[in-house]
Amino acid sequence: RPDGIIAGPELLEVIVNEKEVPACPYPWEGLNEKLHGLRLGELVTVCAGTGVGKSQVCRSLAVHLIRQGHRVGYIALEEGLARTGLSLLGMVMGLPLHLDRSSVTEEQMREAFMRELADRLFVYNHFGALSAENLLARCRYLRVADKCDYLIIDHLSILVSGWGEGDERRLIDNVMTALRSQVCEATGVGMVLVSHLKRVDGRSAERGADPELSHLRGSQAISQLSDACIALSRDTM
């Protein structure tokens, strides 16, 4: 029998010996009913129109995972290091610290950060380093060396821009394949990836239209290689 052909009894042994991956519940009960939580080794894509709240949902999820005892690697590619830190600390303190810090003291900020985030948060300072090899290496390092359980990458379009030149669809195919195979499958890390939606005729996503998988920007590899796609919708006007 050639290599790779598995008979039924051998498959049964694989099935019964496979370890069940524990799930971490989402902070939103509706998603838990649909997806039964978030698991290691899975790739979940969050998509929505511009300004709908993808980044805010990711920050909420990051703080929730940390409070559940998980280590989180946060890669925010469209904002600076200070903005990322202030936004995450603001989620902890329940204040928009990235807009106004007048209501808290430095001591209060330090105390909240050390209590909630210091031991389990790892942020990638990406300034001047967006190459494909660099990002993949950092993702693997966050998992293997820093023992991160989950990675949050915000967002796919900027990640693709560092992948080289060429057709956007093919680049997205390459990015999604690399993230899936070289990061999630290879290391067992759970990943939350942010993606934009393309413009479609009729009511736009920014005006509360219901997003569809066909609206994902650039390539269907986003939906095909994701374990789940979570779409956000609201009328931003």
> pTM to 2 decimals?
0.89
pLDDT at residue 162, as a whole number? 67
Provide the 8-state DSSP code for 199. Answer: -
> Is the pLDDT at 91 greater than 70, yes or no?
yes
Own/partner pairs, 175-180, CB within 8 angstroms, 24+ separation: 175/132, 176/219, 176/221, 176/222, 176/224, 176/225, 176/226, 177/221, 177/225, 178/132, 178/136, 179/43, 179/139, 179/153, 179/225, 180/43, 180/225
Residues belonging to the chain: 237
Average pLDDT over residues 53-72: 95
pLDDT in tens, 126-139: 765 567 788 889 99
pLDDT at residue 128, as a whole number? 54
pLDDT in tens, 171-201: 888 889 999 999 999 999 999 999 988 777 7
Tokens of 103: 């209501």
| Owner of token pair 């990943």 | 191
